[in-house]
Amino acid sequence: MAGCVGNPGSNRAVDRTLKQYSLTWRRAQTTLTEMYTDDDEERVSQGWLSGFRAAKDDDNDRPFAKETTQTLMAAGRLADQMKSPFIEPHHLLLALLEYKPGKDGDDPTAAIIENDICTCGGWAVLVKMETFDESVTALDVCQALLKNLEENSNGT
């Protein structure tokens, strides 16, 4: 999430969307630090990558966590659907918010919070940043980004 916020790429649509919701790299970094501070002294002394490097078994020795792989795959599918030859920051941001375009007349969907529980890490980070009111949804952010992308492609 911090990478998408801190490096929106050359497409101004992502930058406009981030500014619309006051989402900044500094806020993302601070929020992630608060959310994922490690109190385990031994692991902290080994560096933040220690858990990343330590696979539980040979079958789990992957360069990315399962969730990261799933997000990258979702971003790739979004890039394909948007006819982009590359995965761009906006594809990653949409994937991090679990955006799924509507199919066969269905409405698009994105991450939700049910019973005060958010199962989407990307949306949880943005909510914890406390930059927008409670009425804003992940789908609102996704639709604002898509609108900005459309306007950007029309030269506005």
pLDDT in tens, 7-47: 777 778 888 999 999 998 888 888 888 887 766 665 555 55
| Separation between Cα atoms, residue 146 and residue 12, nearest integer Å | 12
pLDDT in tens, 82-136: 999 999 999 999 999 999 998 888 899 999 888 888 888 889 888 888 888 889 9
What are the structure tokens assigned to 19, written together? 């500014």
Give me the residues paired with residue 114 across strands: 117
pLDDT band at 49 (very low <50, low <70, confident <90, very high): very low
Residue 88 near residue 11, CB atoms below 8 Å: yes
Which pLDDT belongs to residue 47?
52
The whole-angstrom separation of Cα 14 and Cα 88 is 10
pLDDT at 67: 82
Q: How far is CA 38 from CA 28, 74, 81, in A?
A: 17, 29, 38
The residue ranking higher by pLDDT, 113 or 154, is 113
Predicted confidence at residue 66, as pLDDT, reads 80
Residues paired with residue 18 on neighbouring β-strands, in sequence order: none
- pLDDT value of residue 30: 87
Contact predicate 8/145, CB 8 Å: no
Q: In the block, which residue shows the tokens 């929106």?
A: 8
